[in-house]
Chain A
């Protein structure tokens, strides 16, 4: 199998699984319990939190574990807007957000909020001037993703953070695609709320986090016990937290070499496709893209056909998003960068990851070539 769908999920590192196993077996304590075995577990959970916090230059008590990116996005937007409701009910986001953000802001619209959806250019970047002019007296929240999951374009996050803070507006970023892949410094970038998910960085599924700059002013989404600094109830998902922390530790160590290696493979895939497949068009921002993500519009063959033919050859890639039944749907991201529905239905995302080799790229291009021969 050649796995080129790392933006969907990644294979957990064996060190991650090893770090989790004790907490799925002999070390099964509830970290909130009083006796010493549980206290030891609590110490390990908090040490995991501390390490993850340090990774994005955040204080330890600003990291709240959640069930994943979707919960974090929901929470950040719903409560981020709520705590500022005295100031107003206007939210700014973009047209290319993940459904976890888009559908949450749509819910907010139903609740009486107004939402501005910023356009992006053909490379998927927002225009900072448009952001500035979208800001109103009653704007309370800006939610803009760090990098896009489909086309890999990275937003000018630092500039956005600066604009938000100058206006005293909360800034949330969905960093699910970048956490563990790119350097993030919540202070330097001016981020107030950040969503991340472990399974995109070779960690386990079902665990994520919300970074909250000022947790004392924040509000709960779920009600229950006093876990997670009183902000997110439910017995801690201890094993997954351990796995998350291990994944972050590894990412921290090898991020630079990961970036370099994946950029090289991406370049290889890009140039081979452009050379070998007539009519192929790369959808990207050349200067600001995720190291491993390559989005390609092909000519004359549907994405469904391409994906099945790749699948038959043991190659995993993806296209757009799937409906609840599993059929492929035209992507709102591609529409937002100006692709027609027809072009969108011929577009594939390859996302390269840590374990890919040059040989994987060569084989993939070879299969693609047979499709367009």
Chain B
């Protein structure tokens, strides 16, 4: 009997081609779009957004084109609880969360995968630029996409072994131009659609406004201080700032300054030089082990602390079972509490965790 796979379809070109690739590979493919936005009238109708009515219509047209069953599944409640509320809550705690990681962990590979197995599917597939493989040690891991610049493994470090055993990511075998070419050749209606970007639920990218609307708060107001403790200005709330930020500070000191620290208790936002942003040690907690059951403290891995960075050679030491210290061979920029530190062994994710401090 054919293996059954549910493809999470966003209406974009990657997940559309994903569905086609799996159909070609002989799977019984079911298309599904996760309805995650909160109001019936989706506010986000901009091009390249990954939810909303136009996205559903695009996904439905693709399903028609591929002649596969198609469902819209409601995950509003889960998305609200596990992504939006976590996002705003983390910001107010002085963290800079990555909502895509939370969405993958709790919604896509939580609720959605659960729904897929309930309806009798063997796999969940997504259009991520990443690959899922079983390693010689028997464990599953996420492997980098063939195109480094599209690689999306960073946001997938939290997947468990059980989840990976039921996950397919066929798009990671191809480059973006190849994927677009498939879409064009097939005449998929979304072949020329723009890539999605930014935080999908913050329409204009102004996440501080979003947090204010959601929670009524911008965090504690306070002062800007230099690394020497000199007060150089005032601000209206800590959530407006993130580590490494240079623009929009409204402080002129005659030389470029960057946010290097945020204290949500006092409301202090610390400003320093670009050099102050670099560190060679990063601590992370809430560890997920992927390619290896445990990190090898003697091994050289690479790691990155931001989605868009390249990974840097490092060693990993355990502070306790669930907390690690990452010692980089060269300094990394803007390691930010709330973001992820993802550790790679060659092409594969060895594991990762949430950054707590430098």
Chain B residue nearest to A320 in the complex (CB): B74
In the complex, what residue of chain B is closest to A304 when comparing beta carbons?
Answer: B73
Pick from A309, A325, A329: contact of B53, CB under 8 Å: A325
Task: Known contacts A302-B115, A302-B118, A309-B120; decide if A326 and B40 are in contact (CB<8 Å).
Answer: no
Chain B's nearest CB lies how many Å from the CB of A134? 29
- Chain A residues contacting B120 (CB-CB under 8 Å) are 309, 312
CB distance from B80 to the nearest CB of A (A): 12
Which one of A302, A323, A325, A328 has the highest number of Cβ atoms from chain B below 10 Å of its Cβ? A325
Other than the known A323-B40, A327-B35, A329-B40, what 9 A-B pairs have Cβ atoms closer than 8 Å? A302-B115, A304-B73, A308-B71, A312-B119, A312-B120, A324-B41, A325-B42, A325-B72, A326-B56
In the assembled complex, the Cα of A301 lies from the Cα of B72 at a distance in Å of 17
Q: How far is the CA of A328 from the CA of B42 in the complex (A)?
A: 15
Closest Cβ–Cβ distance, residue B57 to chain A (whole Å): 8
> SS class of chain A's interface: helix, strand, loop or mixed?
mixed
A98 to B291, CA, bound (A): 53
Q: A325-B35, A327-B35 are in contact. Are A301 and B118 (CB under 8 A)?
A: yes
Contacting residues, chain B, for A327 (C-beta < 8 A)? 35, 72-74, 76
Across the A-B interface, the 3 shortest Cβ-Cβ residue pairs: A327-B35, A327-B74, A326-B72
Q: Which residues of A contact B71 (CB under 8 A)?
A: 304, 308
Inter-chain contacts of A309 with B (CB < 8 A): 118-120
A interface with B by C-beta (< 8 Å) = 301-302, 304-305, 308-309, 311-312, 322-329
Chain A contacts for B69, CB-based, 8 A: 311-312
A270 to B152, CA, bound (A): 50
- Taking CB atoms, residues of chain B closer than 8 Å to A304 are 71, 73-74, 115
- In the assembled complex, 10 residue pairs joining A and B whose CB atoms fall closer than 8 Å, in A order, are A304-B115, A308-B71, A312-B119, A324-B53, A325-B33, A325-B35, A325-B53, A325-B56, A327-B74, A328-B74
**Contact: B35 with A305, CB < 8 Å?**
no
Q: Is B127 an interface residue (CB 8 A)?
A: no
Q: Specify the chain B residue showing the minimal Cβ separation from A371.
A: B118
Interface digits, B17-35 against A, CB 8 Å rule (1 contact, 0 not)? 0000000000000000101
Closest Cβ of chain B to A140, distance in Å, is 30
Q: Which residues of B contact A325 (CB under 8 A)?
A: 33, 35, 42, 52-53, 56, 72
- CA separation between A283 and B53, bound complex, in Å? 32
A301, A305, A329 interface centre (most CB from chain B within 10 Å): A305
Complex-state Cα separation, A304 to B72, whole angstroms: 9
Kindly list chain B residues whose C-beta atoms are within 8 Å of the C-beta of A328: 74
CB pair A329 B115 closer than 8 Å: no
For window 52-68 of chain B, which residues contact chain A by CB distance below 8 Å?
52-53, 56, 60
Distance in Å from the Cβ of B141 to the closest Cβ of chain A? 30
Residue in chain B with minimal CB distance to A303:
B74
Q: Give the residues in chain B near A305, CB-CB below 8 Å.
A: 115, 118-119
- CB-CB under 8 A from B73, the residues of chain A are 304, 327
Q: B121 → chain A, closest Cβ, in Å?
A: 10
In whole angstroms, how far apart are the Cα atoms of A309 and B6 in the complex? Answer: 13
**Distance of A326 Cα from B76 Cα, bound (Å):** 13
Provide the bound-state CA to CA distance between A328 and B72, in Å: 8
A329, B73: Cα distance in complex, Å:
10
Which residue of chain B has its CB nearest to the CB of A323? B40
User: How many Å lie between the Cα of A206 and that of B213 in the bound state?
Assistant: 42
Residue of B nearest to A308 (CB): B119
Measured between beta carbons, the chain B residues less than 8 angstroms from A326 are 35, 56, 60, 72
| Complex: A324 Cα to B37 Cα, angstroms | 12
Write out, one digit per residue, whether chain B residues 170-201 have a CB within 8 A of any chain A CB (1) or not (0): 00000000000000000000000000000000
A324 touches B118 (CB 8 A): no
In the bound assembly, the distance between CA atoms of A103 and B162 in angstroms comes to 46
With a cutoff of 8 Å between Cβ atoms, the chain A residues found around residue B76 in the complex are 327
